[in-house]
Chains A and B, each alone.
Chain A
Amino acid sequence: MQKEAAIREPLILGHKSYHDVTEDVCRPIEDKAPRMWYVLFGIALIIALYGIGCIVYLLGTGIGVWGLNKTIGWAWDITNFVWWVGIGHAGTLISAVLLLFRQKWRMAINRSAEAMTIFAVFMAGLFPLIHMGRLWVGYWVLPLPNQFGSLWVNFNSPLLWDVFAISTYLSVSLVFWYIGLIPDFATIRDRAKKPVSKKMYSILSFGWSGGAKNWNRFETVSLVLAGLATPLVFSVHSIVSFDFATSIVPGWHTTIFPPYFVAGAVFSGFAMVQTLMLVMRKAMGLEAYIHTKHVEYMNIVIMVTGSIVGTAYITELFISWYSGVEYEAYAFLNRATGPYWWAYWSMMTCNVISPQLMWIRKLRRSLLFTFFISIVVNIGMWFERYVIIVTSIHRDYLPSAWSMHYPSHIDIGVYIGTIGIFFVFFLLFARYFPVLALNEIKTILKGSGQSYKEAPDYHKHH
């Protein structure tokens, strides 16, 4: 099935047999976890618990424990929300859009990227919940028939659209991810020796038998879900951007937001995938599956989306001046030169300048440099949301209400905490779930003929 393209680098290096793939993916699950895993898990858990402590304090005391004020009603909460949703973009893009485009290289990264997506969307979803003044009545955002008579939700409100967008995205991503996991769970089940894990994996694998009918349905469902998920990639962040774009706050009220937010989301999502993959391939010995070629492809995506984002930034600046709207013009002037100039220029440096370095082949193939840039990009993307949210509302229409935002330690604690919770989930995933789509990846393994062709000579003599 697989055509041989002479000029293409192979997607899997070395002489991996089908069994090697199974071994490589299942070994970390079946073996005892390395000491490093425990160390990392411990650190993540401590940070996560601290974050949960901060959230409990927040819920018990009031939103006042954050650094918000009468002028700045959203700051780190919604910044973190958008940041996490953005990160949660790469997974679905990789699994759905690249599936439709038949990009086979996605198979090396789609499983963990999807896992990352789901955990990031968990973290993202946390913020709109805890940012509510009265979480205990938060279910009122759902259009439930209720005992309150004719009370209904406001379909004009972008926050309501968010509810639908995020929940749809999360459920579709979760199903997509899980469907993909089923054959792999079955493989683990078949290899499992301990009764408990055998039982667990057999439940998880939904009685997968590996028959042709199974595979047929698997392929169909994957394609259908990919078709469903693809518009979601664009809708989720577009709708998140509506929170701002449909408002009247200068700096928020910008029609460019939907495409710009989607590009930014892919940009930050891929950066996060890079950060995680570069560590994981090393730690789990997956260098043969995720190698420079994959990193380079992802860096190209980062470069392209980074350029879109940069263009959007400059377009915004131009339009703010060109519109002749006093408040709009001032909002952008204030971003660049006002009290938060440092946030703006951090954003510009991280998001506009750093991805341009990827034009240089040597740099985009350098794993260390990629790791560095991937972190820089996510810092930049956090600042982007902070700049949009805080520097727009801190000085809007009436100068009498102008204010500054200073985060409290609870703001910081909750944010760092979500990173901790994210890594707790991700480390558990890496420990108990197949981190590569092992059955899918076998489809791109070059046949035994190729192995033979490339095998060292002494093999042939045997």
Chain B
Amino acid sequence: MEVASTEGGKRRRGMKLWSFHGGIHPPGHKRESTTRPVESAPLPKELVLPMLQHLGAPADPVVKVGDRVLKGETIARPGNFISAPIHASSSGTVVAIEERPVPHPSGLSAPCIVIETDGKEEWHPSREPADHRDLEPAEIRDRVRQAGIVGLGGAGFPSFVKLNPGKTVKTLILNGAECEPYITCDDALMRERPEQVIKGAMVIRRAVQAQHCIIAVEDNKPAAIDTLTQTLRSEGVTDMEVVAVPARYPAGGEKQLIKVLTGKEVPSGGLPIQLGIVCHNVATAAAVFRAVELGEPLISRIVTVSGSAVGGPRNLEALLGTPVPDLLRHCDTDFEGLGELIMGGPMMGVALAHHQVPLIKTGNCLLAVSRSEIEQRPVVRPCIRCGNCAEACPVNLLPQQLYWHAQSKNLDKIQEFDLFDCIECGCCAYVCPSNLPLVHYYRFAKSEIRAQQEKKRKADIARERHQKRLERLEREKAERAARRARKQPVTDESKKAAIQAALERTKAAKKESSPDEV
């Protein structure tokens, strides 16, 4: 398939593109939030920064209650290798380090640092601008790690890990596909700050030493494609390419995008680096640019606020830790008619149990769905075995089989049907004529399996510890017996000897003492 990409109105021969299995064309709903430019959200009175805003281990606080912190100051350090530090999004005072509700489907609370802002927005002096061309790849990675950058597309994997591929990278792909309905934060970024995306791409490219670099954008965002191509030309960048990929959900899925661009499939359970490919989101690239060249850590992000309960949908540049209700209020949300608040898009996002949660690094979209829209949701009916789901699945799985096995909790069987290759994109549930919540079944089965594996791991440790304890008790018993055995023969003979010796001593003493008395 030959697809031409536009370049300043002039059409040129584009690169060859492939296609992935399945996929859907849901209504985009992107226009609502793209009518106005990105706005800065007002500074909130209180910032709530969860210690876990990424995949991996939670961060460990390095500040105390009562400390004054400055904007960009590190307030928590990575808890592990796969982890990320947390920075103060604005200047103020730490008023609490406690459990607060976090944006998570469970509605549970998790440790957070709470900062009362002072309105001064005073920057920490650690900001140190640099030119990425003067930095070694290792120095770039270190700066990205210190800046707490994680994948901003939604998964939140610490980015510095992906900057250290340990293998030759042929292609660097910047993912600007943004295929999910309603979400337009990457679109807004590419249109309004194309130079940050491109410079970020150059920095990442230097870090991974990639030969080739592609910025992939779905062709339903012509303005973003034009702006990026023009910026490339005006900056004189010739070794980077903007590619328009056909709009089809989920073209922005990492493995699907790689298939479209290269025709190669990432193996089951594998990583793109096995094909010599590294993939980063465009917003991550812009954050990398700000971290490396300007020395600014990740303290804010663009978030789309949209949905049927939002009066003025738009993109907001908001500080991390800003309470979500503040953002919703800023966009004229009808709180009375609010039925469901989703973090992420309508396909892959998760419904939040609490509204009083903060914005976190992975929060690309806040979708406020009105109660009337929820009431219109169709009734769930039994599966009629039509097979539409299998046709729609972009990973070529058998969603219906997965559904049956998840329903009957047949956890061994469901893994034989490659449950863990499911990307939870929701195509199967979208096409399901019975409106089954299929993704919910897969998430349920996945978390059950993970819990079982964890249980097994702990049981193995307990078995080993018990075994070691039994061995230790056995050994101690044997040692005690040996000690007794060593003593026993000695006592028998030495007893008599000792008595004899004592008798002789008393006799001698008597002999010595008696002459004096007499």
* Chains A and B are bound partners: no
Q: Interface residues, chain B, CB within 8 Å of chain A? A: none
